């Protein structure tokens, strides 16, 4: 779908909120127990804030969680996963900032994701690529930001090579295809996401995203396709959505 542009940066901070899942919905790699436990706790806290915390309280909660991710990155500077989570929290916190701060936040999140991928291309079982791809396709194009559907496509394809059966990899690629007027292609990926198993340690987050995939599948099959790009971060309003 074409992008409706608006050069007024004061409106870049808001966009329809659906799920981010962030990509966030993947099995943790084998790490030292303390790091693995910390990452699992951060994911659980993020999901609780995103799905359960009242909107007016989310900003402070994200800011507190961001401090935790920054601290974890300092304690494990050679590990990509804390950097990934710092990017995720920074991106979702952008929804609660003014337009200029939100725009800076998505640039910072992009750079953190690139850094995480440089350390470990398979970070979070491909979720870093998913998150980066979502940023590329949701962000406005230059000169406002760095939006680029070609780059987004590359990131999603990289993620699918790493984790072809993941909930997030399939759901967000389906969203990307749908936003580019490819509903028949999107259905295939929504089906895979809707039927992917949830992790025992993250049942709540995984089930939330899987439900989003089922709803997206139902709406696509019924041709109830939104004319606005859904999702991830709630960063942009109708003035800058694809």
Contacts made by residues 115-118, CB under 8 angstroms, sequence distance 24+:
115/80, 115/83, 116/80, 116/81, 116/83, 116/84, 116/87, 117/80
- The 10s digit of each residue's pLDDT in 50-67 is 989 999 999 999 999 999
How would you classify residue 106: left for phi > 0, otherwise alpha for psi between -120 and 50, otherwise beta?
alpha
Which domains, ranges and CATH numbers included, belong to the chain?
9-221 (1.25.40.10)
pLDDT on residue 225: 54
pLDDT on residue 197: 85
What does the alpha-carbon distance between residue 91 and residue 192 come to, in Å, rounded to a whole number?
26
pLDDT on residue 119: 97
- The 10s digit of each residue's pLDDT in 223-235 is 865 544 444 443 3
Q: Would you place residue 205 in the very low, low, confident or very high pLDDT band (cuts 50, 70, 90)?
A: confident
Average pLDDT, the chain: 81
Question: Counting every residue, how long is the chain?
Answer: 242
């Amino acid at each position: 779908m074409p992008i409706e542009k608006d050069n007024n940066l004061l409106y870049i901070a808001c966009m329809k909120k659906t799920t981010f899942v962030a990509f966030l919905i993947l099995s943790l790699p084998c790490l030292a127990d303390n790091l693995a436990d910390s990452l699992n706790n951060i994911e659980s806290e993020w999901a609780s804030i995103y799905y359960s915390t009242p909107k007016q309280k989310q900003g402070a909660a994200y800011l507190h969680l961001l401090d935790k991710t920054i601290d974890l990155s300092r304690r494990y500077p050679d590990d990509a996963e804390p950097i990934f989570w710092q990017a995720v929290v920074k991106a979702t916190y952008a929804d609660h900032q003014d337009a200029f701060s939100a725009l800076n936040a998505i640039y910072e999140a992009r750079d953190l994701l690139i850094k995480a991928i440089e350390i470990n291309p398979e970070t979070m079982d491909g979720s870093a690529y998913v998150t980066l791809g979502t940023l590329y396709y949701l962000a406005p194009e230059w000169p406002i930001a760095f939006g680029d559907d070609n780059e987004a496509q590359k990131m999603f394809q990289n993620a699918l090579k790493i984790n072809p059966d993941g909930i997030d990899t399939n759901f967000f690629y389906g969203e990307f295809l749908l936003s580019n007027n490819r509903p028949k292609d999107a259905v295939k990926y929504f089906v895979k996401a809707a039927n992917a198993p949830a992790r025992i340690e993250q049942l709540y987050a995984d089930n939330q995203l899987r439900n989003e995939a089922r709803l997206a599948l139902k709406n696509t099959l019924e041709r109830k396709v939104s004319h606005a790009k859904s999702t991830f971060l709630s960063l942009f309003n109708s003035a800058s959505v694809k």
